[in-house]
Structure 1
Amino acid sequence: MRLEAFVPLVTYPEANADAFAEHAVRVGAAIDAGLHALAIEADIPDTANVLSKWLLDTPALIRQAEAASRQRGAHLLGLLRDEAARIGVEVATETVAAPLAMLADAAARKARYFDMSLIGWEAGNATSRATAEAVVFGSGRPTILLPELSDISHFDHVAIAWDGGRVAARAVADASVFLKRASRISVVTVLDEKPLEEKDAGERLAGVLRARGLNAEAVPFHAEDCPIAETLQQTAIEARAKLLVMGGYGHSRIRDFVLGGATQGVLSDLLMPVLLSH
């Protein structure tokens, strides 16, 4: 059975960059997955009073904002279809309109029906971050964050952020499609960030992966005074890994997200493609 990846396209108030369309298609090609792209358009209610309608013509401003959202969604879907046709990736597309407060939740609900989600990430784009948080913690599926300026050409080297915990184990299982295709796997373990139940946890996982015929090695290191998210990403980048696999620590209460330190750091400053699993 072929994998199906969900691709939510945010359009308002901040839209995904054009590069995300190509990134998503390249991930689909890399793992032989079909794509289902959803353009999420803004549905803005007219709650203005008589004075604001007279002074600002609020209904006209709402119509303009909704039209811009629809145009951006159609543009992104067109780019994705064109790139998919060029590379040979199957893609289905649709649009949905949702109230502003429910845009990210609309993505999370839809994501539950697919094997994984691909999320575009641009520096300073609060809309794409909110969508990422909602999908990571609300879909029950792995989510791959794809930064605008990253190289998404291949995932031959995968790094795993490993502490021997449950969430990390879930992430490794969710990343199996990438691990099977990787020519090299680095199991990255931070030795001084928190107490580890097993001091040799990284080597144990690397050994298990090697027993399955995968080329894996343990990479223990000390974070020292650097933020854990930056350290993990920089270590993976220095090893020339193309994808970092890690557990998403935290939970959500409707729209109130409580994030672990590493998860918070990655969502704030994404330096490379990251698979987050919760």
Structure 2
Amino acid sequence: MSVRKILVPLAGRPEDDEVLSTALSVARAFKAQLVGLFARPDPSEALPYLGDGVSGQVIEDLMQAAREGADDACARVRAALEKTASAAGVAIAKEGGKAEMPSARFLDVTGRRDEIIAKHSRLSDLIVFGESPTGIAGGTALEAAMLSADRPVLIAPKKAWDPVGGTVCIGWDDSPEASSAVMMAIPFLEKAKKVMILCIGGKELDPGPGSTLADYLALHGVTADVHLVDGQGKADGEVLLEQAEQAKADLLVMGGYGHSRIREFLMGGTTQHVRSHATIPVLMAH
């Protein structure tokens, strides 16, 4: 797998600059194109919720205000993309012209945000999300990209990261989700200077699965050290972040949603914990 198209959903918030800076550092590393996606809400979709007693003039005023708000947010997104790309020395791709690599492109699409992001994720190699207003990285759009579109996502915490993937930690539990994340992360692992495989369990943790992964990565030219970590009863997500931070990693690779989203939301889980508390970039796949 190669990384050639990086999708970055944007909303016109102050955090966009840092997310874009992180995504552009990845685009430069892989000579990829970054696509800044603005999902413009369709005001007409709110009409059924206004009720029958609302006058036509009030409806028109509300729709006009919604259009103007979307126009303002769109302008902020475009300006942030152009400013950040210029500072990073990345060219803005011209419509109809031959795309330079790396490059950046702006996309303005009207519709429901989660549906638009899922649709455009299907033909993207990586989707980069920052923290949402709820404090959960990516919000429901991240789930749409990872679960509906089956694409890897990169969580970019509140900081401009450059590089991403110099030191990589892999959270490994021999699950299908973790395997998928490793497959998707191969381009990062091949470039990394240091790779650590973190296997979390009790004192009698089996070293076999970690060694099997290390042998597989060696076939890709990746040298990885296996670390057996006694979680001491702590939640796996907490231990993964602690270990990655201690290793001064700038990328954590892990599977996402080994349990259903409803169970993760109601009872907590590794995915939900990492999405809420990540302080370094995290590549997740399902």
TM-score, length-scaled by structure 2: 0.81
1:179 offset after TM fit, Å? 0.3
Tell me the equivalent position of 1:21. Answer: 20
Distance 1:126 1:214 in 2: 32
Q: What is the alpha-carbon distance in structure 2 between the residues aligned to residue 127 and residue 105 of structure 1? A: 18
Summarize the alignment of residues 175-194 of structure 1 with structure 2, pairs less than 5 Å apart. Answer: 175-192=185-202
Q: Deviations over 1:176-207 (max 9, x none)?
A: 110010010010110139x97x5432233224
Q: Secondary structure at the match of 1:147?
A: coil
Alignment match, 2:178:
168
Identity of aligned residues (%): 26
Question: What is the alpha-carbon distance in structure 2 between the residues aligned to residue 84 and residue 150 of structure 1?
Answer: 13
Q: 2:159 aligns with which of 146, 149, 159?
A: 149
CA displacement at 1:62 relative to structure 2: 4.1
What's the offset of the Cα at 1:240? 0.7
1:238 partnered with 2:246: yes
Cα distance in 1 between the residues matched to 2:79 and 2:16: 13
| C-alpha distance 257-4 of structure 1, shift in aligned 2 (>3 A) | farther
Partner of 1:276: 284
Match status 1:43 vs 2:42: yes
Structure 2: distance between partners of 1:87 and 1:257: 42
> How many angstroms does 1:78 deviate by?
2.4
CA contact (8 A) 2:153 2:284 kept: yes
Pair 1:63–1:125, CA change in 2 (3 A): farther
Preserved CA contact (<8 Å) 2:81 2:106: no
- Cα distance change on mapping 1:225 and 1:138 into 2, 3 Å: same
Deviation at 1:128, TM superposition (A): 3.2
C-alpha distance in 2, partners of 1:169/1:104? 26
Amino acid aligned to 1:95: D
Structure 1 residues 264 and 15: alpha-carbon distance in aligned structure 2, compared to 1, 3 A threshold: same
Task: Give the corresponding residue for 2:108.
Answer: 95
- Contact persistence 1:6–1:35 (CA under 8 A): yes
CA distance in 2, matches of 1:169, 1:139: 17
The answer to whether the 8 Å contact 1:122/1:147 transfers is: no
- Quick one: structure 1 residues 258 and 164, their matched pair in 2 at CA, closer, same or farther if it must change by over 3 Å? same
Looking at structure 2, the residues matched to 127 and 57 of structure 1 have their Cα atoms a distance apart, in angstroms, of 36
Partner of 1:263: 271
- Inter-CA distance 179–97: structure 2 relative to 1 (3 Å threshold): same
Q: Tell me the secondary structure at the aligned position of residue 140 of structure 1.
A: coil
Structure number having the greater strand percentage: 1
The answer to whether the Cα contact below 8 Å between 2:3 and 2:125 also exists between their aligned partners in 1 is: no
Query: Tell me, which stretches of 5 or more residues in structure 1 are unaligned?
Result: none
Q: Displacement of 1:250 after TM fit? A: 4.3
TM (norm. structure 1) is 0.83
Over aligned residues, Cα RMSD in angstroms?
Answer: 2.9
